[in-house]
C-alpha cells in the first residue's frame, strides 16, 4: 500500500541550526515531508552530537532532532565553503534556510539575507538566536537557560521558600521552535498561496516566545500592579496540587471548576465541604488552600496511587498519575494513540521516539528515518545533486571545506 503524499513535499529546507531550537524547526518541517538538508561543521558536526548520552558512539539526541534529514558537512567559515553553500542554495532552489549562529556571523561570511535572496528570490530565512537580531543583548551568548531565567519563568517556578527553578529539559528552545515553525508556514502561505512570490526573514529569539506564554502575568502587572511569586504547584484555582500516595507515588488533581471541586469532596467522603464557608466557591478555596490541601492530601495519603486514581475517576474527578518514562512506554492509551513509534536505524537498530505531532487526518506526517551519521549524504548531495566529480569532492575534503 502506497503512503499518502506528505503535505510539505516539494519544500526544500537547508538546516544550519545548531543544538536544539534550530534543528527542532527542521525536524518539524521534515516530519511533514520537507526535504531537509542539514549542514554540519566537518569537525564534530552539530554540537547536539556531543550533548546528552551516546550509545555505540552514536548521539541519541541527534537521532531525534535530525530525523528525516540528510546530513552533509560544510565549513561555512571558509571561502570555499561559502561558495559551495551559495551553489547549494541555487541548485536546490531553497525555500527555507534555518540558521542559529550569533547575530552578524552570516553577514561576516558574506551570507547575508539580501545576497542569498538574490540567488533564491523566494527564500525564507529563519534566524534563531538567544536575544534576537537587534537590541542591546544581541551579541550575548544565548541559550535556553538564559531565556528561561530572564523571561520570568524561573522566577515563578518552585516552592515559595525555595530558589528559582529551571526546567530539566530544553523548554525555551522547544517553544521558540514551535513559534518559528508557525512563522515559516505563514511565510510560505504568504509567498505561495497568496502569490506574493518573495520570502522574508523570521527573527526568532529564545527569550520572547517563552515570555509570550507568560503573557497574563504582564497584564496582571500592568492593570493590577501584581508581581507573581513562586507558589509551588498552586494556581488561581483549588484544589490543585500534587499529592503523595501511601505507596510513595504521586497523583495530580485539578478541581478547577465548581462542579469538579464538588466531585472531589464527594469522592473523599466529605460532601459537607461544598457548603463550608471556607470552600464554598473557588475564591474561598484559594484563600484557605492550606487547609484544603491538608484534607485532600490526608485522604490521598491513605491510599495507593492506583486506588486513589480509581476512586477519584469513579466520581469523574480531573486526576492523573504522575508518571516517569517507564510508565509512559507501557501505557495502553499511549499505545492506542501510537504516540510512541519504533524506527529502524542503521547504527543503533530499533529506536523508540515520540511520534509526529500534530496529527493530520488526511496528510499525516511520518518518520522516514532517524538522524543520519555525520556527512552521510555528502556523495548524494554534492555529486549526484550538484554535479561535483569524485575528485572535486575529495579535494574539498582534503582542504577541510567538507
Cell digits for 123?
Answer: 527564500
Cell digits for 261?
Answer: 471541586
Q: What angle (nearest 5°) sits at the alpha carbon of residue 389, between those of residues 386 and 395?
A: 105
- Taking the CB of residue 250, how many other CB atoms lie within 10 A of it? 14
CA nearest to 174, candidates 193, 153, 197, 157: 153
pLDDT recorded at residue 2 = 67
Q: Are 132 and 138 in contact (CB under 8 A)?
A: yes
Cell digits for 107?
Answer: 553577514
pLDDT by residue (tens digit) across 302-341? 999 999 999 999 999 999 999 999 999 999 999 999 999 9
Strands 124-129 and 96-99: parallel
Q: Are 396 and 80 in contact (CB under 8 A)?
A: yes
pLDDT by residue (tens digit) across 346-357? 999 999 999 999
Question: Distance between CA atoms of 201 and 285, rounded to whole angstroms?
Answer: 48
pLDDT by residue (tens digit) across 283-304? 999 999 999 999 999 999 999 9
pLDDT by residue (tens digit) across 219-263? 999 999 999 999 999 888 999 999 999 999 999 999 989 999 999
Sheet containing strand 69-73, strands side by side: 69-73, 35-40, 12-16, 96-99, 124-129, 201-205
Would you state the torsion angle of the CA atoms of residues 303, 309, 310, 311, taken in this order, to the nearest 10 degrees?
60
Q: For residue 251, what is the DSSP state?
A: E
Q: Which residues form the catalytic set?
A: 173
pLDDT recorded at residue 198 = 86
Residue owning grid cell 525555595 = 162
- Whole-number average pLDDT of the chain: 95
| Rounded average pLDDT over 38-43 | 96
CA nearest to 321, candidates 393, 243, 399: 243
Q: How confident is the model at residue 74 (pLDDT cuts 50, 70, 90)?
A: very high
Question: Distance between CA atoms of 129 and 187, rounded to whole angstroms?
Answer: 19
Question: Distance between CA atoms of 36 and 397, rounded to whole angstroms?
Answer: 22
Q: For residue 337, what is the DSSP state?
A: T
Q: At what angle do helices 258-267 and 305-314 cross, to 10 degrees?
A: 120
pLDDT recorded at residue 40 = 97
pLDDT recorded at residue 51 = 85
Question: Distance between CA atoms of 266 and 260, rounded to whole angstroms?
Answer: 10
Kindly report the pTM of this predicted structure. 0.94
Complete domains list, the chain, with CATH: 12-213+347-398 (3.40.50.10540), 240-327 (3.30.1540.10)
Bond preceding residue 358 cis, omega within 30 of 0: yes
Q: How far is Cα of residue 131 from the mean position of the Cα atoms in its chain?
A: 18
Cα dihedral sign, 355-172-145-201 = positive
- The number of residues in the chain equals 402
pLDDT by residue (tens digit) across 7-26? 999 999 999 999 999 999 99
Strand intervals (E) in 237-288: 240-244, 250-254
Does residue 197 surpass a pLDDT of 80?
no
Does residue 134 surpass a pLDDT of 70?
yes
| Rounded average pLDDT over 168-196 | 94
List CB contacts of 191: < 8 A, sequence separation 6 or more.
Answer: 122, 124, 197, 198, 199
pLDDT recorded at residue 63 = 96
Would you state the torsion angle of the CA atoms of residues 145, 150, 151, 157, taken in this order, to the nearest 10 degrees?
70
Amino acid at each position: 500500500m502506497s503512503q499518502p503524499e506528505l503535505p510539505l513535499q516539494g519544500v526544500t529546507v537547508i538546516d544550519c541550526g545548531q543544538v536544539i531550537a534550530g534543528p527542532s524547526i527542521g525536524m518539524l518541517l521534515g516530519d511533514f515531508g520537507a526535504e531537509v538538508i542539514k549542514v554540519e561543521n566537518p569537525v564534530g558536526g552539530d554540537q547536539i552530537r556531543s550533548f546528552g548520552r551516546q550509545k555505540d558512539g552514536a548521539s541519541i539526541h541527534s537521532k531525534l532532532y535530525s530525523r528525516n534529514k540528510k546530513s552533509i558537512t560544510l565549513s561555512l567559515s571558509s571561502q570555499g565553503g561559502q561558495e559551495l553553500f551559495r551553489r547549494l542554495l541555487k541548485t536546490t532552489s531553497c525555500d527555507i534556510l534555518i540558521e542559529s549562529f550569533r547575530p552578524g556571523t552570516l553577514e561576516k561570511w558574506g551570507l547575508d539575507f539580501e545576497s542569498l535572496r538574490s540567488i533564491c528570490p523566494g527564500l525564507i530565512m529563519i534566524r534563531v538566536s538567544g536575544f534576537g537580531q537587534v537590541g542591546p543583548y544581541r551579541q550575548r551568548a544565548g541559550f535556553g537557560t538564559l531565556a528561561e531565567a530572564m523571561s520570568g519563568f524561573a522566577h515563578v517556578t518552585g516552592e515559595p521558600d525555595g530558589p528559582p527553578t529551571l526546567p530539566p529539559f530544553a523548554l525555551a528552545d522547544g517553544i521558540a521552535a514551535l513559534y518559528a515553525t508557525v512563522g515559516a508556514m505563514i511565510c510560505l502561505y504568504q509567498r505561495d498561496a497568496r502569490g506574493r512570490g518573495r520570502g522574508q526573514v523570521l527573527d526568532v529569539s529564545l527569550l520572547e516566545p517563552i515570555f509570550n506564554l507568560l503573557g497574563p502575568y504582564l497584564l496582571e502587572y500592568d492593570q493590577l500592579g501584581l508581581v507573581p511569586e513562586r507558589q509551588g504547584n498552586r494556581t488561581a484555582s483549588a484544589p490543585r496540587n500534587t499529592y503523595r500516595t501511601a505507596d510513595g507515588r504521586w497523583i495530580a488533581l485539578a478541581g478547577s471548576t465548581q462542579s469538579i471541586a464538588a466531585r472531589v469532596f464527594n469522592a473523599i467522603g466529605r460532601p459537607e465541604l461544598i457548603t463550608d464557608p471556607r470552600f464554598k466557591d473557588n475564591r474561598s478555596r484559594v484563600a484557605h488552600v492550606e487547609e484544603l490541601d491538608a484534607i485532600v492530601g490526608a485522604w490521598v495519603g491513605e491510599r495507593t496511587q492506583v486506588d486513589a486514581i480509581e476512586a477519584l475517576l469513579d466520581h469523574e474527578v480531573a486526576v492523573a498519575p504522575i508518571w516517569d518514562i517507564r510508565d509512559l512506554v507501557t501505557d495502553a492509551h499511549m499505545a492506542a494513540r501510537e504516540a510512541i513509534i519504533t524506527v529502524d536505524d542503521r547504527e543503533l537498530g530499533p529506536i523508540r521516539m515520540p511520534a509526529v505531532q500534530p496529527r493530520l487526518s488526511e496528510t499525516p506526517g511520518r518518520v522516514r528515518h532517524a538522524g543520519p551519521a555525520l556527512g552521510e549524504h555528502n556523495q548524494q548531495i554534492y555529486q549526484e545533486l550538484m554535479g561535483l566529480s569524485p575528485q572535486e569532492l575529495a579535494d574539498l575534503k582534503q582542504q577541510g571545506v567538507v
